[in-house]
Structure 1
Amino acid sequence: MVTVSLTGASKEDAATVFDVLRTAFPTDRGAADVPQEQELGHPLVRTAEFEPTRERLSMPAAPSPLEGSLTATLQGGYVAVDQVGEALSAAFAVHEQGTASGDQEKEVDLQLRTKRS
């Protein structure tokens, strides 16, 4: 299980990222569960959990362009976090900002942007 937390994301960008991951892996969120509007002045973290499997459900399609950059924090087992990171890299321009490792799991901070052709 990998927890994906998005910060600095509009509800549209969060939906785009979660839709990409939803096509690749089983999740705790249904397709009808879309991010809601945020209150101004309040920091917001949007979170969902994904269960990477040996075989992806499908490869992420070219997503809608992101409005800007956002930060995705991935937390879970080593192999599972790597699989989610690979799916994000297939759909977005990804820059690793930092990692923290433990005995059984790791945390990775990624900056996501629209991939340029």
Structure 2
Amino acid sequence: MVTVSRTGASQHAAPQERPGSQPGAWAAEFEPTQERIPTRPTSLEGSFTVTPQGGAVAVDQLYEALRVAFAVHERGTASGDQEKEVDLQLQRKR
């Protein structure tokens, strides 16, 4: 299981749950699987930061999937005994 926090998305990419209110960060949990890995770049308006955190294998799988879909720039990492956290800047692939 990987928890992903996202910040810095454009208003167009923001969830529209509360009219007139744009939260600065979102979080979600994912279970990486081989069946859901993208096979080509995905369109993205602007850039934003994601911070996957969880078991090292799951974080690495998510990181590789993001590299297929986006231009990924690693901004920092932190590793513990059984968890890993990576700060990533995602942009549209050119």
In the aligned structure 1, how far is the partner of 2:27 from the partner of 2:45? 19
- Secondary structure at 1:52 match in 2: coil
Superposition deviation, residue 46 in structure 1: 1.2
Shift of 1:57: 1.5
The unaligned stretches of length 5 or more in structure 2 are: none
Q: Percent identity?
A: 68
Q: Say which SS state the counterpart of residue 90 (structure 1) adopts.
A: helix
- Residue 24 of structure 2 corresponds to which residue in structure 1? 44
The SS at the match of 1:109 is strand
| Superposed displacement of residue 11, structure 1 | 5.2
- Whether 1:111 and 2:93 are equivalent positions in the alignment is no
Whole-Å separation in 2 of the counterparts to 1:8 and 1:52: 23
Q: Deviations over 1:30-80 (max 9, x none)?
A: xxxxx226626xx51111111123xx123314322x221110000000000
Pair 1:98 & 2:76 matched: yes
Q: Structure 2 counterpart of 1:63, which letter?
A: T
Specify which of 53, 62, 66 is matched with residue 41 of structure 2: 62
Structure 1 stretches of 4+ moved >6 Å: none
TM-score by length of 1: 0.69
Q: TM-score, normalised by structure 2?
A: 0.84
CA distance in 2, matches of 1:108, 1:58: 20
SS in 1 for 2:36: coil
* RMSD over equivalenced CA pairs, Å: 1.9
